[in-house]
Structure 1
Amino acid sequence: MSLLFVIIGGFLGTICRYSVGEWLYTENGFPLATLSVNLIGCFILGWFLTFVNHRKTINPAYTFIFGTGFIGSFTTFSTFSVETIQLFLKGLYVTALVYVLSTMILGLLLTFLGSKVALLNRKRGDTV
């Protein structure tokens, strides 16, 4: 049953990933769509996993559907890697460096912030 949940989440995440790619397509060479989905995914996954880990009433199936399936297919490390290499091969060294550093630093920051938002809501007693 867990596999079915991952498939459903993956299907929806893939559609969203494709849509963001179409919406944020740029011709200047900077992979804004991939950066955006990866950063959004970092924040959401940081929030979601913290939220789930602090609530005993959450059905574990939601982790498979949303965490593994949706966010796993929405974000993309392989595309990040390929686009970085392509930027280097085109001689866009500064752009590649900005892309790598912004992905790593902002990704970690947003994951941390997502987790903190979940904990803040828990401390205040809010339901999220």
Structure 2
Amino acid sequence: MSWLLVAIGGAIGASLRYGAGLIITRPQMYFPWTTWSINILGCFLAGIFFAFTERYPVLQQQARLFLMVGIFGGFTTFSSFGLETFQLIRQGHLSIALAYTISSVLVGVICLMIGFYIFQFLLNTK
């Protein structure tokens, strides 16, 4: 049942992300407003849901899988990243939160670049 909740939520979240992209994207946009807006909205919604789970612990099970992992995960994984960073800060682990934030962004971009250039090279040598 858990897998089904995540799968259905993920399909909904991905569809919402696609729809939001159609609404937000405009020609000649240099700043990635679509992704930025979706990530910010996802973080805001994750914060709202997190507050509800603190007040109503019953929401920490199936509703969490459906909303946080499924819908918000399909909409943006940045919301999970934001929530995890916030939880580290709340627990007093500021240095870990900072390391997590910086390393996630930098290592993520570096790995994307490495993957791109390796496969661009491999594809061009054939």
Q: TM-score range by the shorter chain?
A: 0.5 to 0.7
- The answer for the alignment partner of 2:29 in structure 1 is 28
Look up the SS of the partner of 2:25 in the other structure: coil
Output the amino acid matched with 1:54. Answer: R
Ranges in structure 2 where 5+ consecutive residues have no aligned partner: 79-104, 114-126
Output the amino acid matched with 2:53. Answer: V
Look up the SS of the partner of 1:28 in the other structure: coil
Structure (1 or 2) with the larger CA radius of gyration: 2
Contact 2:6 2:70 in 1 (8 A): yes
Look up the SS of the partner of 2:73 in the other structure: helix
Number of equivalenced pairs? 82
Cα offsets for 1:3-23 (capped at 9, x unmatched): 110001000000000011111
Output the amino acid matched with 1:43. Answer: F
Alignment RMSD: 2.4
Ranges in structure 1 where 5+ consecutive residues have no aligned partner: 87-128
Higher helix share: 2
Output the amino acid matched with 1:14. Answer: A
Cα offsets for 1:20-67 (capped at 9, x unmatched): 111111322211110111000001001101211221343721100101
- The answer for the alignment partner of 1:19 in structure 2 is 19
Look up the SS of the partner of 2:59 in the other structure: coil
Q: What is the TM-score with the length of structure 1 in the denominator?
A: 0.56
